[in-house]
Amino acid sequence: SGAPMLEALATLLCLLAAVAFWLHRSGRVSFGHADLLKINPFGGASSVATDPFSASDGWLPTGLGVELPYDDIEAYEALAEELKGMQRNAPGVQDLHQQCINKLMQRACSSLLAIWKASIEIDRLFRMHRTNRLSTAEWELVEAEFEAFREERLAVSEQASWLRPGWPGGWGESIWHDAHRALMRARQKMLDDGYDPADARVPPAGKLRFSPADRVQCNVGKDGSGGVKWISGTVITSWDLPYKVALDNGSRVTAPQDSDNLIRAAPPDDPGTPAAADLTLWRPYRFKPGDRVACNCGPDGFRAGTVLERNILSDLVPGESTAVAAPPGKKVRAAYAVRLDGPEQRVVLAPMDLPKVVRAATPEDEERSKAESQGAAGAEGGPAVQAEGTQAAEEPSGTAPGTAAGTVAAGSAQGAAGGDEAVAGQEKAASNGTPD
């Protein structure tokens, strides 16, 4: 009868579809939508292997379809190379430095647009991969293409911290936030001028629920009764995840997901951002080489000295010259290198640019230093010895509290191992060239 034949035909079609799916997922054959429609249930599949990034049927991907702003990247790199070749006090260096800052900001804005578009596309392709419409081989090609956008994020942050160093990480901490704000201002102006929001020239709206300065509540774990503990705060950055939020209790947290389970809008009766809240992402260094400061040397209290160098970021190993050196596998990270007064002329590294670690020398500091120098008059000056590092507490740093700072000889320091959490490649770029 007809029913058994229909059942057999349906079974055969299911088997053929299963075989086609297996071939596609394994990467042996890439079937486009049109290819699947050509399958002959009585004669097998008629499709042939195709390039996953050249299919014309509209079902297979054609790559991310987004390019980085290579003209802006090359224009900045040309200026940066010129700046690196100039002496710090050379004529015109300040003007060139400002040109580099402006050009890097332009690069960041253009790259952020490309990163946004590429992120949207890779999310779409990832969903295709999860629903078995994109083979593993095809997805790996997509991921490889997106790697260039990840590298651009790191490169721009690295260059920003080199041009404008500061605490805790220099301009690299906020350049993408600054670019986001610039694009949102440009978007609003274009909409006010009558542009269609769907116009490709109009920057896209932010993809996250909250904007900088929005009041929110963050899930910070469990309270004493085992329930969720929520603390109010103010959004600092929202150009991409994770959110950075300054909590009202003075600490900072990140929210890696835009979910009400982690971050939610503050209630209507929220009192607003406290007047004393610190919403800055970074600040320029307070001191420059030659400034008189006092360093927290632990049991010895604050000791007066002179700033030798700032923005010390290096991953060089002992034996390499012309730079700060570190023990194998470690990195030197510090805000300042300071030569303390006294016959030993020892050098300490101030790991953080905070008043509790290093501050401007007071008249009392100078008097103490003068008295100690006079008391040591006539004594034979010995070689520089390993000194105790300035103390750090509470806030994260590349140098652990109590870490010993090394001696300085011929412009290089040894000792004071730092952490490894900095962006890869940032240390070398930040320690070379004209900006300091």
Report pLDDT digits (tens) over 136-185.
888 888 899 999 999 999 999 989 988 888 887 788 888 988 898 888 88
Residue found by looking up tokens 């953080």 in the block: 352
Q: Is 384 helix (H, G, I), strand (E, B) or coil?
A: coil
pLDDT beyond 60 at 284: yes
Least confident of 49-53, 63-67, 80-84: 49-53
Average pLDDT over residues 336-361: 88
Listed residue (212, 219, 207) closest to 260, CA to CA = 219
CA distances from 28 to 15, 19, 56, 207, 365 (A): 17, 11, 19, 37, 75
pLDDT beyond 60 at 342: yes
Q: Is residue 423 a contact partner of residue 414, using CB atoms and an 8 Å limit?
A: no
- The identity of residue 344, as a single letter, is E
Q: How far apart are CA 67 and CA 25, in angstroms?
A: 28
> What's residue 314's pLDDT?
56
> What's residue 215's pLDDT?
93
Element (H, E) at 77: helix 70-84
Confidence band of 391 (pLDDT split at 50, 70, 90): very low
Highest mean pLDDT among 9-18, 27-36, 390-399: 9-18
pLDDT beyond 80 at 395: no
> What's residue 332's pLDDT?
67
Q: Is residue 208 a contact partner of residue 238, using CB atoms and an 8 Å limit?
A: yes
Least confident of 26-35, 40-49, 359-368: 40-49
pLDDT beyond 80 at 18: no
Listed residue (114, 204, 100, 103) closest to 151, CA to CA = 114
Residue found by looking up tokens 């042996």 in the block: 28
Listed residue (160, 424, 172, 162) closest to 281, CA to CA = 172
Could you tell me what percent of the chain has a pLDDT over 90?
20
Q: Pick the residue with more confidence: 90 or 420?
A: 90
Give Cα 431 distance to the centre of its chain.
18
pTM exceeding the 0.75 threshold for the entire prediction = no
pLDDT beyond 50 at 382: no
Confidence band of 377 (pLDDT split at 50, 70, 90): low
Q: How far apart are CA 427 and CA 259, in angstroms?
A: 34
pLDDT beyond 90 at 1: no
Q: How far apart are CA 4 and CA 315, in angstroms?
A: 74
Q: How far apart are CA 180 and CA 9, in angstroms?
A: 57
Mean residue pLDDT of the chain comes to: 73
Q: Is residue 167 a contact partner of residue 436, using CB atoms and an 8 Å limit?
A: no
> What's residue 24's pLDDT?
57
Neighbours of 309 (CB within 10 A): 21
> What's residue 23's pLDDT?
62
> What's residue 53's pLDDT?
38
pLDDT beyond 80 at 386: no
Confidence band of 73 (pLDDT split at 50, 70, 90): very high
pLDDT beyond 50 at 428: no
pLDDT beyond 60 at 49: no
pLDDT beyond 70 at 405: no
> What's residue 359's pLDDT?
94
Listed residue (403, 284, 267, 379) closest to 335, CA to CA = 284
Q: Pick the residue with more confidence: 301 or 374?
A: 301
Q: Is residue 239 a contact partner of residue 206, using CB atoms and an 8 Å limit?
A: yes
Report pLDDT digits (tens) over 79-111.
999 998 888 778 888 899 999 999 999 999 999
Average pLDDT over residues 66-76: 92
Average pLDDT over residues 53-75: 69
Q: Pick the residue with more confidence: 289 or 16?
A: 289
